[in-house]
Amino acid sequence: SVPGAHCAGRLPPSLQMVSIPAGVFTMGTDDPQIKQDGEAPARRVTVDAFYMDAYEVSNADFERFVNATGYLTEAEKFGDSFVFEGLLSEQVKAGIQQAVAAAPWWLPVKGASWRHPEGPDSTVLHRPDHPVLHVSWNDAVAYCAWAGKRLPTEAEWEYSCRGGLHDRLFPWGNKLQPRGQHYANLWQGEFPVTDTGEDGFRGTAPVDAFPPNGYGLYNIVGNAWEWTADWWAVRHSAEEALNPKGPPSGKDRVKKGGSYMCHKSYCYRYRCAARSQNTPDSSASNLGFRCAADHLPITS
């Protein structure tokens, strides 16, 4: 943990960005672990220097935004959001029928939102320093704009994730648990039945938990999925690219990093090259974001 990262004494979010140097890196991989996600091919990508939030946007950060603007998230407008059933109370679970056929552990919960991540009977009061959840891509864009920032492109996100290392699986290297240590908030145990919490957490962790990567970024994989600016596509040109921004249009937006729900058995997506997608109005109990910027925002 670093000074200023904790709830009470947290610096304004704009002061918690890290400088990411310009450079060339290998985006994607020629050894895809989940082929249908379009992890391949590996391609040489050049990225200009930029700034990246050191942490995922927290509940306290998002509350500051909502207090200042009166912003209403899409989950609040729609009146529901998807919650992982393992986090729900029996009362909330009992009232729900509909489910996602391919992923029955996702339940649409009435009244679930960033303030009530597990439904109306839950709050974020005791976890201001956890990542904000149930925020759509549109909500994330609105927050970043308010903060004088923007969402990172997928290329910027992946370059940041790699932390200066070349062609490694994880932000810290190729071993999931070097010297037996946990480096991210993931799922341990049999998904979706038992998360043993061996890494210290069931559900989300504070945004400053676990060691940072080589660029000083915390929880860049695991904890909460992170929205990026790009539209989703699974076919990529192997050609070299400069500051790529993804396809010009699409149906889904790219999310990166995996979440506390990811286990190698069904969601081996806590690798830098891994990727997934959702429609821009989607929200869920494992999906958040962090912002990027070309210049450090001016703070008052």
User: Interface residues for ligand NAG in 45-64 (CB under 6 A)?
Assistant: 60, 63-64
**How many chain residues touch ligand NAG (CB under 6 A)?**
4
- The pattern of x and - marking residues 63 through 92 that bind ligand NAG according to CB under 6 A reads xx--x-------------------------
237 binds ligand NAG (CB under 6 A): no
Is 167 an interacting residue with respect to ligand NAG (CB under 6 A)?
no
Kindly tell me which of 126 and 166 has the beta carbon lying closer to ligand NAG. 126
**C-alpha 148, offset from chain centre:** 19
Least Å from the CB of residue 114 to ligand NAG: 13
Binding mask 116-135 for Cu ion (x = CB under 5 A): -------------x------
Q: Rounded to the nearest whole angstrom, what is the least distance from the CB of residue 266 to Cu ion in the complex?
A: 31
249 binds ligand NAG (CB under 6 A): no
Query: Which amino acid is present at 215?
Result: Y
The neighbour count for residue 295, using CB atoms within 10 Å, is: 10
Binding of Cu ion by 7 (CB under 5 A): yes
Per the structure block, which two tokens stand in for 201?
Answer: 């957490």
Q: Minimum Å distance from CB 125 to ligand NAG?
A: 10
Residue 10 CA to chain centroid, in angstroms? Answer: 20
State whether residue 81 is helix, strand or coil.
strand
What is the distance between the alpha carbons of residues 143 and 131, in angstroms, rounded to a whole number? 14
Q: List Cβ<8 Å contacts ≥24 apart for 8-11.
A: 10/58, 10/60, 10/129
CA atoms within 13 A on the CB side of 296: 13
Q: CA angle, 290 as apex, 151 and 243 as ends, to 5°?
A: 40
**Binding residue count for Cu ion, defined by CB under 5 A:** 3
- Kindly list the residues in this chain that would bind Cu ion in the complex (CB under 5 A): 6-7, 129
- Kindly list the residues in this chain that would bind ligand NAG in the complex (CB under 6 A): 60, 63-64, 67
